[in-house]
Each structure stands twice: as structure tokens, then as C-alpha cells.
């Protein structure tokens, strides 16, 4: 991708501030055009303050823009009332936006940190790539693949980021355990069946990776039996990756669904920044 046209939705939280710092970094390696947007959820807030909130917010957006590099192209900031996800989705359409950037909002859930509903709804229904920022680092990238066209797009984007930021790239693919029926089979036969199934999956993924030129990219690859979302999340957490990259959809018969179940679970529990590629 030669140029990023980013819609940056901010609520002025600390994670939005982190996302602002990330924009400074990414604009140093990509030609970047940026539109800032802030959504006020309640008409009453503005009514009680006679328009002062909107004036204050406009001033803050201008200050945030002033912190950005001069070479970065900025559009007029947007302030609107309504449901944040709906407004963000509306403004991401028809403006040649190719990336929506959001600062992460999280709450703990079952030992992992769960993203907020606005982020989930934007990622679920948009037709653009979405970057959920939890840090401003791009040094250790983890890309989950499954051999689908969606994961091919994700891998291409991950490779481009790795090249531009001189980051390491870890490619992970998870595949289910052997589907053979163990009834009446000895332990040796079950193990042999699993090994054969695993080798077939690895061969398919190796063929998939031959489509890409990894010249100039420090890359490792791992093929791991297991549930794809869990494998990606566990590896990102255990090896301190600062960015996960996944395709919005993998192999699915549900063509009307814009985000697959694997991407959705990773979106919900990612321990680091996440890029969902479309």
C-alpha cells in the first residue's frame, strides 16, 4: 500500500493519545492523509453547555493536529452527535478512506482484556481495514494465516509494515487436529493419522507462502495444531508481539459476514495492537 488515508476516531483517552503518537510514526514511512473525528454521544451534553463542549472539542482537535508532522496531509476535523460506531462507519464510506484507526478501550474478561463495543462494531461492519492501537510500537509483528485470500491480503500488509519499519515478522498458522475416527484404532495408528494430516496441512501452507517474496524481511513461520484464535492470542502474549495482523475473513461459506469468527475473537481479546485487513 503506497498511501494511507486514515480516519482517526478519538475520544481523547490515553489510548487515543497513544494512537496519535503511532500516526506520527506511520506517517514517516507512508504517504498519509488524516481525518480526525470525535463523536459526541449525547445531544444533552451540548445543550447543557450552550455549545461550549463543541467549541472546546474543536480546539482540542486543532491542537492534536498541530502536533503532527507538517508533511502529513490533514483534513478538516469532524465533530458529530450520535452513536460512535454508526458515525465512524458513515464517515469511512465514500471518502476513499482505507484505514480506520481507533485507540483501544478495554475491560478485563476471563483473564484477558476485552475491547469495547464501539471498536467491535466498527470492525464488524466496516469495509475498510481497521487498526486498534494499544501501543505505538511496530517492531515485532505476528501475522495469522489460513491460506485464504483474506489472509493473503493480511500477510502482504504485514510484510509491507515489516519492511518499512525494519520489524521482525512471525507467521503463524493453526490447523485442527486430525479428523480421523479413532474408534477401533490403536494409539500408533492414531498418531500416524495425525502426523499425516499435519504434514498435509503444512504442505498446503508452504505452497501458499511460495506466492510471496520475503526478501529484506526477517521472518519466522510456525504451523501449530489448535484453535486458530487461541494459537494467535497465546503466541502474541507469550512472545510479547506488539502488533497482530489478520484478515477479516478466512475460509467461510458465510459470504455476507464481514468478519470471521477467528478474527472476531482475536479482536475481542488481543493483548497488543491489532490490524484487521480488508
| All domains of the chain in start order, with CATH | 1-136 (3.40.50.620), 137-277 (3.40.50.620)
- Residue 201: phi and psi, rounded to 5, are -65, -45
Question: Model confidence at 87, in pLDDT bands (50, 70, 90)?
Answer: very high
The answer to whether 32 and 26 have CB atoms below 8 angstroms apart is yes
Pairing between β-strand 112-115 and β-strand 106-109 as defined by DSSP bridges: antiparallel
Q: What is the DSSP string of 238-275?
A: HTT-SEEEEES--S-S-TT-SS-HHHHHHHHH-SSEEE
pLDDT in tens, 34-51: 999 999 877 666 665 667
pLDDT in tens, 217-241: 999 999 998 889 999 999 999 999 9
Please determine, for residue 252, whether its predicted confidence score (pLDDT) is greater than 70: no
Find the range with the poorest average confidence among 123-127, 229-233, 257-261.
257-261
- Give 147 or 104, the one with higher predicted confidence: 147
Cα-to-chain-centroid distance, residue 98: 13
> At what angle are helices 261-269 and 228-238 packed, to 10 degrees?
30
pLDDT in tens, 65-78: 999 998 899 999 99
pTM equals: 0.88
Amino acid at each position: 500500500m503506497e498511501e494511507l488515508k486514515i480516519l482517526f476516531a478519538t475520544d481523547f483517552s490515553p489510548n487515543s493519545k497513544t494512537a496519535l503518537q503511532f500516526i506520527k510514526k506511520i506517517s514517516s514511512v507512508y504517504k498519509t492523509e488524516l481525518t480526525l473525528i470525535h463523536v459526541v454521544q449525547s445531544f444533552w451534553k451540548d445543550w447543557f453547555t450552550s455549545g461550549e463542549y463543541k467549541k472546546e472539542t474543536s480546539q482540542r482537535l486543532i491542537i492534536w493536529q498541530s502536533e503532527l508532522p507538517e508533511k502529513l496531509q490533514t483534513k478538516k476535523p469532524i465533530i458529530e452527535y450520535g452513536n460512535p460506531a454508526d458515525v465512524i462507519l458513515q464517515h469511512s464510506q465514500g471518502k476513499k478512506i482505507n484505514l480506520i484507526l481507533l485507540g483501544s478501550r478495554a475491560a478485563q474478561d476471563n483473564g484477558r482484556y476485552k475491547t469495547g463495543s464501539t471498536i467491535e462494531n466498527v470492525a464488524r461492519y466496516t469495509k475498510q481495514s481497521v487498526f486498534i492501537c494499544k501501543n505505538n510500537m511496530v517492531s515485532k509483528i505476528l501475522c495469522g494465516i489460513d491460506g485464504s485470500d483474506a489472509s493473503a491480503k493480511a500477510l502482504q500488509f504485514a510484510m509491507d509494515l515489516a519492511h518499512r519499519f525494519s520489524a521482525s515478522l512471525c507467521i503463524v498458522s493453526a490447523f485442527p487436529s486430525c479428523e480421523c475416527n479413532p474408534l477401533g484404532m490403536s494409539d500408533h495408528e492414531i498418531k500416524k493419522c495425525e502426523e499425516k494430516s499435519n504434514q498435509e496441512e503444512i504442505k498446503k501452507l508452504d505452497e501458499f507462502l511460495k506466492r510471496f517474496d520475503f526478501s529484506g524481511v526477517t521472518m519466522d513461520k510456525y504451523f501449530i495444531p489448535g484453535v486458530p484464535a487461541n494459537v494467535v492470542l497465546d503466541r502474541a502474549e507469550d512472545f510479547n508481539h506488539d502488533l497482530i495482523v489478520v484478515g477479516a475473513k478466512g475460509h467461510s461459506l458465510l459470504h455476507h459476514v464481514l468478519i470471521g469468527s477467528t478474527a472476531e475473537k482475536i479482536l475481542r481479546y488481543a493483548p497488543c495492537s491489532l490490524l484487521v485487513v480488508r
